[in-house]
Amino acid sequence: MRGRALGPFEVGAIGVGCMNLSHAYGRPPGPEEAARLLLRAIDLGVTHFDTAALYGFGANEALVGEVLAPYRNRITLASKCGMQGVTGEDGVKRRVIDGRPGTLRQTCEDALRRLRTDVIDLYYLHRWDKSVPIEDSIGALADLVRSGKIRAIGLSEVSAATLRRAHAVHPIAAVQSEYSLWTRNPEFGVLEACADIGAAFVAFSPLGRGFLAGAIPDVQAAAALVPGDLRRGMPRFQGAHLDANLRWLPTYRAIAGVAGCTPAQLAIAWLLHKAPHILPLPGTTQVAHLEENLRAGEVRLSAQLIEQLDALVNQHTVSGGRYPAATEAEIDTESQ
């Protein structure tokens, strides 16, 4: 696999997002099946693995740590802090955004233990806690760099303005945000800002939450999503929005046929062709899909085909917001 820069690290252009192995899209696989996927990724030359304290409320970091510890010197390991599970008075653990320096330091210690490592290569602030100045949160992460607990700092779902504020405190190695044909928010500023400061841009959900890969081919498939699947609450997968998005999906599949690849590979290849500092980060629970995703690096797209894709799937042709209103309020990414 061709390499790309992820901050100070050289990694394969396509990484593996590990979230799906613990939560988000229905029932996660069992430990043995999850381990099989991670080990197959190692076999295929993947060098960029991404997890977070939030995923499975620590379970995902523990899984990644257990399976990948023997290969630690062969991979670039990324995790995230600032959004994790906190147990309430009722005994229920809930997602909380907390960017206070003390919380970030403790989250890092917990991550190091779960990941079975002495240092995390790239540590993201998963969400900017808007009640805490970004300078304070980044200052705490800079202290972790100086103490040797982490090697580089990243940000997730931030605007270009917030990125520049953070970069003034400590160099930012990467920004990770949702980016795909059907989510164009990074094009409104942060992609350019990353290029300006020399940061990588890591594109999560490059397959449009599976929609671009054909995971939701019709209304019935959306209705059949299991309880707990995040897509059940996302506007793009509901009602009239879903109907509108399904109308352009057959044409998208036809373009994939012209390109000689699968719809999933087309979505990833489009990102690889956009700019050299973009690194797609697909996630999956199935080894066959992992292998399919990684072969996207072999796909070559003509300028004419890219123009067709951009005209078909963009912020004007995709219907519905990417998150529910309450979640949209938590992120800092530009919307226009």
Which residues are known to be catalytic? 55
Q: Are 75 and 68 in contact (CB under 8 A)?
A: yes
User: Taking the mean position of all CA atoms in its chain, how far away is CA 219?
Assistant: 26
Whether 264 contacts 270, CB under 8 Å: no
CA separation for the pair 105, 103 (Å, rounded) = 5
Which tokens go with 315? Answer: 């912020």
Widest pairwise Cα distance in the chain: 57
CA pseudo-torsion sign 7, 12, 13, 18: negative
* 185's tokens: 């928010």
Position 64, amino acid? V
Contact yes or no for 166/194 (Cβ under 8 A): no
Instruction: Give one word for 209, left, alpha or beta, with left for phi > 0 and alpha for psi -120 to 50.
Output: left
